[in-house]
């Protein structure tokens, strides 16, 4: 906490500066870690210490640098600057294998198991004990696997494929793997996101056992309530910087949220309010098993409706349901006052809905096709008669959007794979402009694009609303939501947990709501 | 600038074309008879059948699929058409029935893949066996023969001294090129192979168009069956064995990626011609058909190695 201004803003938070704590044995010290990607500083002078046998929570918004830091520790990324010390010895972690040998294991949210192989085979994958110069020593492997899993209190047949196990059990197979690797440091990335209440309780009791055995755990989670239950200390990252490490017993949820979201106020959001027109989209009691519960809202012409929520809160699922990409179980969608009868992306497009997906490359673009072909893909009907495409009309249309949106490309025929992220996003936007959509759903519209292009995208949003288009903007970046929305809905576990006008919304309120508090 | 653009789009085809020309010159030096008009027309005629199938296969492979059933579908379409012809159906209708049988088999493939969600390899492997069996059952294993001279003109006739099969082949390629580059079907063929999910989310009816592509491939197998039957003056239930592999090889030599999303029909035509020229030249040189298989297999592998080197270079 070097910044005096910040210290002034947060007088109630006691700071524990670890070097003085001699009573704790430090297993890991990461010092002054810096990581840059081309054009981005992901981590800036981050220091992090882990004590023996503690559960240390790592907290921060999406993009704050948590996973980058953990990827450096587990060997997936290389640090640009800084030092890593394990048991006071400086180490050089160049690959996941190096990390493994140093006793560091990471358990990802999406587990890394080979589904068709048995628990035993997964635990020993890549380092199977052999006999007679090549035969797998199955008996020894099964025995050890049973022993470790038994120690964790998991009763499963170690020979059956892990795909037969529950998610919680699969997670324990990963833990067992870490134990068999003799790991001293265990990183758990959102371990409870797919677990039921009971499974979480069991997970926690096992984590406590591991702690007692001297294993140190770095725990990443967004669920505030559980942090206090399982964690000993917390380190908050914000914009690639460490903004403080604290004992969890000495800090409140409100403090943590303030630490996470505080940000300099800049005028990066050139919001222009458009006059609000008639209802263009109305959703009534939308339900989809497992992802959406009783969603109702309206969208007006000229309005930007922001949707906040954590990953997995149902934001993207809602967009896909509106667009007809996923089925719904019940509920009604009215578009310009007309009930939508058929449900498919085609009928959504025909009635004037456009969807800018969260993953441009996987869902938004056909990378091997040209700029023109991508721009015209949803509207090719408009440019064809008897199934024959009129090339010059297509060229004119695509050329028009390249000019209007200032897409930087050498020609219409350039494959979009060679364009930058910002220009690719503009191509996706052109697709929907070319369809003359009345409602545009932006899912993470500025993810992974540079600051300049971001501002251009916001400008385009202003132009769209000025021309009477209704915009739904889903985003993980709270400042973006606050800066660009007229109204914000917050989602939590598939429900709308709050609604705010842009005047009343604050980052704290949104985050509280998104966390379901 | 213009040259660079052309090179970036068609460079790969120029490479294949260069290979074809180089190969032809080498054969010309080794055996002067190779470069006579009659021999070249002969090569084109022999290539026509596989080339027509390969045109359809190009569409399928651009969607990131595969069709193993084309040889069997050819045999089945051939015997259906031949039988109807001998039972007195007018020529035009019989020809339509031949193409229609192929089309129907292809559409079934397409439905199994897009609606039944079977992997293309499995669906068409099944069809390969079913269509072959159907051809054998339909004819009780015997060839069907004894056609009118009019029908035989399809194989032996000439247009401006060019053999009719070659004319049909060229027509197929012109139309196929047009469809692939200028129509919705063509555009969607690339889009589906390039990114299926993005296509669905852009409102493309992926099921429909994928089914149509397999239908097209089957229909062209039916067309090839007509030419083969006319040439042999007999429809054989065991015709077309291994044609699927020749067709796939022509597509791959022609630079279409098995991953989908990219490829041209003219590349495929050149690929088919390379194989035809190679077979013809080796035969003229007196190389045994056993050795020919080794040479052709090696050429396929070398061509794809070159292709991969070309693509890596451009990244």
Task: With both helix axes pointing from N to C terminus, report the angle between B91-114 and B70-86 in degrees, rounded to the nearest 10.
Answer: 150
Give CA–CA dist A316/A364, Å, rounded. Answer: 14
A288 with A208, same domain? no
DSSP alpha helices (H): ranges in B32-69? Answer: 37-62
A327 with A475, same domain? yes
Is residue A464 within 8 A of residue A430, CB to CB? The reply is no
Structure tokens, B36? 């006579």
Does any domain span residue A347? yes
Domain C-terminal end among A236, A261, A286 = A261
Percentage with pLDDT > 90 across chain A: 39
Q: Which residue has the tokens 């040889």?
A: B71
Is the pLDDT confidence value at A357 over 50?
Answer: yes
Nearest residue of chain B to residue A429 (CA atoms): B202
Does any domain span residue A428? no
| Chain A partners within 8 Å of B191 (Cβ) | 366, 369, 373, 377
A78 with A205, same domain? yes
Q: What is the pLDDT of residues A165-223, one digit of tens each?
A: 888 888 889 888 888 888 899 999 888 877 777 788 888 988 998 899 899 999 998 77
A309 with A189, same domain? no
Does any domain span residue A251? yes
Among candidates B9, B194, B200 on the partner chain, residue whose Cβ is nearest the Cβ of A367 = B194
Contact check, Cβ <8 Å, B184/A367:
no
Does any domain span residue A383? no
Among candidates B5, B188, B199 on the partner chain, residue whose Cβ is nearest the Cβ of A413 = B5
A199: domain CATH number is 3.40.50.300
Query: Within an 8 Å CB–CB cutoff, is residue B182 touching chain A?
Result: yes
Domain C-terminal end among A261, A293, A313 = A261
Task: State the residue range of the domain holding A25.
Answer: 4-103+183-261
Give CA–CA dist A84/A27, Å, rounded. Answer: 11
| Chain B partners within 8 Å of A350 (Cβ) | 203
| Chain A partners within 8 Å of B182 (Cβ) | 388-389, 391
Among candidates B202, B261, B262 on the partner chain, residue whose Cβ is nearest the Cβ of A378 = B202
Give CA–CA dist A87/B208, Å, rounded. Answer: 62
A254 with A285, same domain? no
Lowest mean pLDDT among A18-32, A93-107, A368-382, A387-401: A18-32
Is residue B225 within 8 A of residue B78, CB to CB? The reply is yes
Q: What is the pLDDT of residues B140-164, one digit of tens each?
A: 999 999 888 889 989 888 888 899 9
Q: What is the mean pLDDT of residues B55-61?
A: 97
pLDDT band (50, 70, 90) for residue A8: very low
Is the pLDDT confidence value at B9 over 70?
Answer: no
SS3 label, residue A175: helix
Query: Within an 8 Å CB–CB cutoff, is residue A384 touching chain B?
Result: yes
271-310 in chain B: CB under 8 A from chain A: none
Give CA–CA dist A148/B253, Å, rounded. Answer: 54
Contact check, Cβ <8 Å, B183/A357:
no
Q: Which residue has the tokens 């003359």?
A: A436
Mean pLDDT, rounded, of chain A? 85
Nearest residue of chain A to residue B187 (CA atoms): A373
Contact check, Cβ <8 Å, B198/A362:
yes
Strand partners, A242: A237
A333 with A212, same domain? no
Contact check, Cβ <8 Å, B195/A389:
no
Q: How many CB atoms lie within 10 A of CB A417?
A: 14
A283 with A312, same domain? yes
pLDDT number for residue B315 = 44
Q: How many CB atoms lie within 10 A of CB A302?
A: 21
Is residue B237 within 8 A of residue B75, CB to CB? The reply is yes
Structure tokens, A419? 């364009």
How many domains does one find in chain A? 2
A98 with A193, same domain? yes
Query: Within an 8 Å CB–CB cutoff, is residue B209 touching chain A?
Result: no
Domain C-terminal end among A227, A261, A295 = A261
Quick one: which of A157, A162, A49 has its CA closest to A115? A162
Q: What is the mean pLDDT of residues A22-39?
A: 83
pLDDT number for residue A226 = 84
pLDDT band (50, 70, 90) for residue A11: very low
A251 with A283, same domain? no
pLDDT number for residue A39 = 61
**Among A324, A353, A354, A369, the residue to mutate for chain B (most B Cβ within 10 A):** A369
Contact check, Cβ <8 Å, A384/B184:
yes
A245 with A294, same domain? no
Q: How far does the CA of residue B8 sit from the closest CA of chain A (Å)? A: 10
Nearest residue of chain B to residue A381 (CA atoms): B184
DSSP A136-162: E-HHHHHHHHHHHHHHTT----TTSBG
Structure tokens, B25? 């010159």
DSSP conformation class of A381: G
A197 with A345, same domain? no
Q: What is the mean pLDDT of residues A75-83?
A: 90
B162: part of which helix (H) or strand (E)? strand B162-163
What ipTM, to 2 d.p.? 0.81
Give CA–CA dist A222/A232, Å, rounded. Answer: 16
Strand partners, A185: A104, A216
Give CA–CA dist A343/A337, Å, rounded. Answer: 16
Query: Within an 8 Å CB–CB cutoff, is residue A385 touching chain B?
Result: no
Q: How far does the CA of residue A413 sit from the closest CA of chain B (Å)? A: 9
| Chain B partners within 8 Å of A378 (Cβ) | 202-204
Query: Within an 8 Å CB–CB cutoff, is residue B200 touching chain A?
Result: yes
Is residue A389 within 8 A of residue B182, CB to CB? The reply is yes
A198 with A343, same domain? no
Is the pLDDT confidence value at A16 over 70?
Answer: no
Q: What is the pLDDT of residues A270-297, one digit of tens each?
A: 788 888 889 999 999 999 998 899 999 9
Q: How many CB atoms lie within 10 A of CB A438?
A: 20
A423: part of which helix (H) or strand (E)? helix A421-434
Structure tokens, A167? 């998610």
Query: Within an 8 Å CB–CB cutoff, is residue B9 touching chain A?
Result: yes
| Chain A partners within 8 Å of B183 (Cβ) | 384, 387-389
Higher pLDDT, B258 or B129: B129
Structure tokens, A222? 């967004």
Q: What is the mean pLDDT of residues A384-410?
A: 89
């Amino acid at each position: 906490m070097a910044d005096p201004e910040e210290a002034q803003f947060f007088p109630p938070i006691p700071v524990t500066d670890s070097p003085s704590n001699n009573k704790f044995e430090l297993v890991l010290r990461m010092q002054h870690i810096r990581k840059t990607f081309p054009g981005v500083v992901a981590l800036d002078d981050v220091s992090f210490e882990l004590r023996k046998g503690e559960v240390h929570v790592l907290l921060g918004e999406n993009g704050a640098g948590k996973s980058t830091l953990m990827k450096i520790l587990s060997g997936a990324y290389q640090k640009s600057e800084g030092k890593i010390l394990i048991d006071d010895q400086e180490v050089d972690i160049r690959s996941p294998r190096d990390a493994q040998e140093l006793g560091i294991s990471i358990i990802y949210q999406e587990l890394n198991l080979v589904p068709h192989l048995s628990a035993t085979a997964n635990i020993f994958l890549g380092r199977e004990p052999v006999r007679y110069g090549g035969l797998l020593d199955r008996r020894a492997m099964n025995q050890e696997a049973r022993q470790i899993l038994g120690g964790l209190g998991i009763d499963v047949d170690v020979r059956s494929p892990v795909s037969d196990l529950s998610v919680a059990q699969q997670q324990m197979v990963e833990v067992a793997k870490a134990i068999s690797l003799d790991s001293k440091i265990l990183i758990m990335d959102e371990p409870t996101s797919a677990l039921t209440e009971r499974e979480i309780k069991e997970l926690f009791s096992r984590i406590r056992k591991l702690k007692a055995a001297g294993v140190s755990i770095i725990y990443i989670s967004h669920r505030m309530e559980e942090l206090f239950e399982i964690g000993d200390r917390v380190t908050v990252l914000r914009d690639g910087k460490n903004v403080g490490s604290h004992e969890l017993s000495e800090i409140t949820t409100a403090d943590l949220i303030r630490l996470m979201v505080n940000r300099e106020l800049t005028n990066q959001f050139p919001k222009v309010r458009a006059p609000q027109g008639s209802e263009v989209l109305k959703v009534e009691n939308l339900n989809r098993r497992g992802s959406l519960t009783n969603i109702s809202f309206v969208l007006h012409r000229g309005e930007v409706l922001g949707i906040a929520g954590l990953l997995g809160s149902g934001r993207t699922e809602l967009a896909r349901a509106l667009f007809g990409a996923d089925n719904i179980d019940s509920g009604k969608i009215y578009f310009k006052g007309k009930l939508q009868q058929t449900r498919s992306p085609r009928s959504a497009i025909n009635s004037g809905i456009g969807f800018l997906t969260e993953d441009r490359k996987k869902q938004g673009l056909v990378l091997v096709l040209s700029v023109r072909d991508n721009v015209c893909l949803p509207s090719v009907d408009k440019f064809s008669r008897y199934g024959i495409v009129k090339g010059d009309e297509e060229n004119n249309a695509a050329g028009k959007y390249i000019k209007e949106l200032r897409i930087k490309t050498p020609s219409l025929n350039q494959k979009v794979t060679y364009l930058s992220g910002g220009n690719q996003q503009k191509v996706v936007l052109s697709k929907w402009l070319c369809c003359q959509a009345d409602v545009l759903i932006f899912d993470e519209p500025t993810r992974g694009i540079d600051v300049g292009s971001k501002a251009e995208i916001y400008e385009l949003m202003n132009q769209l609303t000025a021309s009477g288009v209704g915009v739904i903007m889903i985003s993980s970046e709270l400042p973006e939501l606050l800066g660009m929305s007229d109204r914000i809905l917050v989602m939590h576990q598939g429900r709308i947990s709050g609604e705010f006008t842009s005047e009343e919304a604050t980052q704290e309120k949104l985050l509280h709501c998104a966390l379901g508090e | 600038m213009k040259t660079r653009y052309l090179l970036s789009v068609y460079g790969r085809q120029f490479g294949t074309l260069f290979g074809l020309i180089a190969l032809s010159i080498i054969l010309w030096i080794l055996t002067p008879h190779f470069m006579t008009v009659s021999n070249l027309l002969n090569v084109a005629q022999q290539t026509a059948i596989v080339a027509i199938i390969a045109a359809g296969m190009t569409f399928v492979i651009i969607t990131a699929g595969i069709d193993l059933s084309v040889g069997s579908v050819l045999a089945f379409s051939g015997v259906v058409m031949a039988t109807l012809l001998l039972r007195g159906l007018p020529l035009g209708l019989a020809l339509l029935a031949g193409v229609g049988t192929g089309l129907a088999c292809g559409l079934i493939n397409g439905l199994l893949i897009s609606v039944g969600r079977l992997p293309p390899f499995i669906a068409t492997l099944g069809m390969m066996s079913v269509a072959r069996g159907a051809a054998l059952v339909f004819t009780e294993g015997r060839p069907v023969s004894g056609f009118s001279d009019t029908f035989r003109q399809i194989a032996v006739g000439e247009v401006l001294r060019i053999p009719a099969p070659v004319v049909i082949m060229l027509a197929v390629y012109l139309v196929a090129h047009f469809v692939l580059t200028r129509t919705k079907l063509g555009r969607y063929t690339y889009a589906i192979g390039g990114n299926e999910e993005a296509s669905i989310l852009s409102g493309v009816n992926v099921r429909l168009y994928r089914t149509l592509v397999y239908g097209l491939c089957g229909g062209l197998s039916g067309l090839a069956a007509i030419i083969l039957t006319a040439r042999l003056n007999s429809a054989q239930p065991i015709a077309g064995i291994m044609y699927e592999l020749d067709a796939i090889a022509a597509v791959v030599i022609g630079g279409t990626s098995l991953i989908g999303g990219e490829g041209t029909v003219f590349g495929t035509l050149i690929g088919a011609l390379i194989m035809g020229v190679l077979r013809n030249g080796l035969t003229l040189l007196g190389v045994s058909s056993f050795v020919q298989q080794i040479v052709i297999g090696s050429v396929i592998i070398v061509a794809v190695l070159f292709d991969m080197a070309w693509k890596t270079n451009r990244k």
